[in-house]
Amino acid sequence: MLNFRKRKTLYIRLYTNVVFIRNVESKKELKREATKPFSSSRLLFADYEQGEEFLIQTIKELFEGEPVSSFNIILQPMEKIEGGLSSVEKRAFIDSMQHIGGKSIIIYDKTNILSDDMVLEMVKK
Protein backbone atom coordinates (compact mmCIF):
# COMPACT_ATOMS: atom_id res chain seq x y z
CA MET A 1 0.00 0.00 0.00
CA LEU A 2 1.31 3.44 -0.87
CA ASN A 3 1.60 5.99 1.89
CA PHE A 4 0.59 9.39 0.55
CA ARG A 5 1.51 12.31 2.76
CA LYS A 6 -0.99 15.06 3.16
CA ARG A 7 0.30 18.36 1.83
CA LYS A 8 1.02 20.87 4.62
CA THR A 9 -0.94 24.13 4.68
CA LEU A 10 0.91 27.39 5.29
CA TYR A 11 -0.73 30.66 6.20
CA ILE A 12 1.72 33.45 5.34
CA ARG A 13 1.08 37.03 6.42
CA LEU A 14 3.45 39.47 4.77
CA TYR A 15 4.34 42.89 6.18
CA THR A 16 7.11 45.34 5.26
CA ASN A 17 10.27 43.20 5.63
CA VAL A 18 8.47 40.94 8.14
CA VAL A 19 6.71 37.60 7.75
CA PHE A 20 4.45 35.47 9.94
CA ILE A 21 4.30 31.88 8.72
CA ARG A 22 1.95 29.40 10.36
CA ASN A 23 1.80 25.66 9.77
CA VAL A 24 -1.95 25.30 10.12
CA GLU A 25 -1.81 21.57 10.92
CA SER A 26 0.77 21.77 13.74
CA LYS A 27 -0.28 25.29 14.89
CA LYS A 28 3.39 26.30 14.95
CA GLU A 29 4.05 29.89 13.84
CA LEU A 30 7.19 31.93 13.31
CA LYS A 31 7.58 35.67 13.00
CA ARG A 32 10.78 36.82 11.36
CA GLU A 33 12.17 40.17 10.28
CA ALA A 34 14.37 40.20 7.19
CA THR A 35 17.99 41.20 7.68
CA LYS A 36 18.15 42.12 3.99
CA PRO A 37 15.06 44.16 3.00
CA PHE A 38 12.68 42.77 0.38
CA SER A 39 10.18 45.66 0.60
CA SER A 40 10.46 49.20 -0.76
CA SER A 41 8.56 52.40 -0.07
CA ARG A 42 6.05 51.46 -2.81
CA LEU A 43 6.03 47.65 -2.94
CA LEU A 44 5.68 45.03 -0.27
CA PHE A 45 7.60 42.46 -2.32
CA ALA A 46 10.01 44.70 -4.24
CA ASP A 47 13.11 42.45 -4.23
CA TYR A 48 11.76 39.19 -5.56
CA GLU A 49 14.92 37.10 -5.04
CA GLN A 50 15.59 38.44 -1.55
CA GLY A 51 11.97 37.92 -0.48
CA GLU A 52 11.87 34.41 -1.87
CA GLU A 53 15.10 33.37 -0.15
CA PHE A 54 13.87 34.86 3.13
CA LEU A 55 10.61 32.87 2.90
CA ILE A 56 12.50 29.64 2.09
CA GLN A 57 14.77 30.06 5.13
CA THR A 58 11.84 30.84 7.41
CA ILE A 59 9.90 27.79 6.18
CA LYS A 60 12.95 25.57 6.73
CA GLU A 61 13.17 26.91 10.27
CA LEU A 62 9.45 26.30 10.82
CA PHE A 63 9.78 22.62 9.84
CA GLU A 64 13.16 22.11 11.58
CA GLY A 65 14.65 19.79 8.97
CA GLU A 66 11.45 17.77 8.44
CA PRO A 67 11.32 16.83 4.75
CA VAL A 68 8.51 18.79 3.14
CA SER A 69 8.42 19.60 -0.54
CA SER A 70 5.03 21.07 -1.33
CA PHE A 71 2.42 23.18 0.39
CA ASN A 72 -1.03 24.64 0.18
CA ILE A 73 -0.37 28.34 0.68
CA ILE A 74 -2.64 31.17 1.70
CA LEU A 75 -0.59 34.36 1.21
CA GLN A 76 -1.95 37.51 2.79
CA PRO A 77 -0.21 40.81 2.03
CA MET A 78 -1.02 42.93 5.09
CA GLU A 79 0.33 46.32 3.95
CA LYS A 80 0.64 48.42 0.80
CA ILE A 81 -2.53 47.02 -0.74
CA GLU A 82 -4.56 50.23 -0.87
CA GLY A 83 -6.57 50.16 -4.07
CA GLY A 84 -5.97 46.42 -4.45
CA LEU A 85 -3.09 44.39 -5.82
CA SER A 86 -2.10 44.85 -9.45
CA SER A 87 -2.00 41.83 -11.74
CA VAL A 88 1.80 42.19 -11.77
CA GLU A 89 1.96 41.99 -7.96
CA LYS A 90 -0.35 38.97 -7.92
CA ARG A 91 1.76 37.22 -10.56
CA ALA A 92 4.97 37.93 -8.62
CA PHE A 93 3.42 36.50 -5.44
CA ILE A 94 2.13 33.40 -7.24
CA ASP A 95 5.47 32.77 -9.01
CA SER A 96 7.38 33.15 -5.78
CA MET A 97 5.02 30.85 -3.88
CA GLN A 98 5.42 28.23 -6.62
CA HIS A 99 9.21 28.48 -6.33
CA ILE A 100 9.09 27.81 -2.60
CA GLY A 101 6.91 24.71 -3.04
CA GLY A 102 3.36 26.02 -3.29
CA LYS A 103 1.03 23.75 -5.26
CA SER A 104 -2.30 25.29 -4.30
CA ILE A 105 -1.87 29.04 -3.83
CA ILE A 106 -4.43 31.61 -2.77
CA ILE A 107 -3.67 35.32 -2.52
CA TYR A 108 -5.99 36.82 0.11
CA ASP A 109 -5.96 40.61 -0.25
CA LYS A 110 -7.94 41.68 2.81
CA THR A 111 -6.34 42.59 6.14
CA ASN A 112 -8.53 40.64 8.58
CA ILE A 113 -6.49 37.84 10.17
CA LEU A 114 -7.82 34.39 9.31
CA SER A 115 -8.43 31.54 11.75
CA ASP A 116 -6.98 28.09 11.02
CA ASP A 117 -10.48 26.85 10.19
CA MET A 118 -10.97 29.71 7.72
CA VAL A 119 -7.64 28.92 6.05
CA LEU A 120 -8.48 25.22 5.74
CA GLU A 121 -11.92 26.05 4.34
CA MET A 122 -10.33 28.29 1.70
CA VAL A 123 -7.91 25.53 0.70
CA LYS A 124 -10.76 23.01 0.29
CA LYS A 125 -12.54 25.17 -2.29
- Which among 94, 113, 104 has a CA at the least distance from the CA of 45? 94
Q: Which of 75, 59, 68 is nearest to 107 (CA)?
A: 75
Q: What does DSSP assign to residue 41?
A: S
CATH of the domain at 34: 3.30.420.40
pLDDT digits (tens, 9 = 90+) for 11-25: 999 999 999 999 999
3-state secondary structure (DSSP) of residue 31 = strand
Tell me whether residue 1 is in a domain: no
Q: Which helix (H) or strand (E) holds 100?
A: none
**pLDDT level of residue 1 (50, 70, 90 thresholds):** very low
How many folded domains does the chain comprise?
1
Local confidence band at 5 (pLDDT 50, 70, 90 cut-offs): low
pLDDT confidence of residue 2: 40
User: For residue 32, what are the domain limits?
Assistant: 8-124
> In this structure, is residue 119 part of a structural domain?
yes
Three-state DSSP state, 52: helix
Q: What is the pTM of this model?
A: 0.91
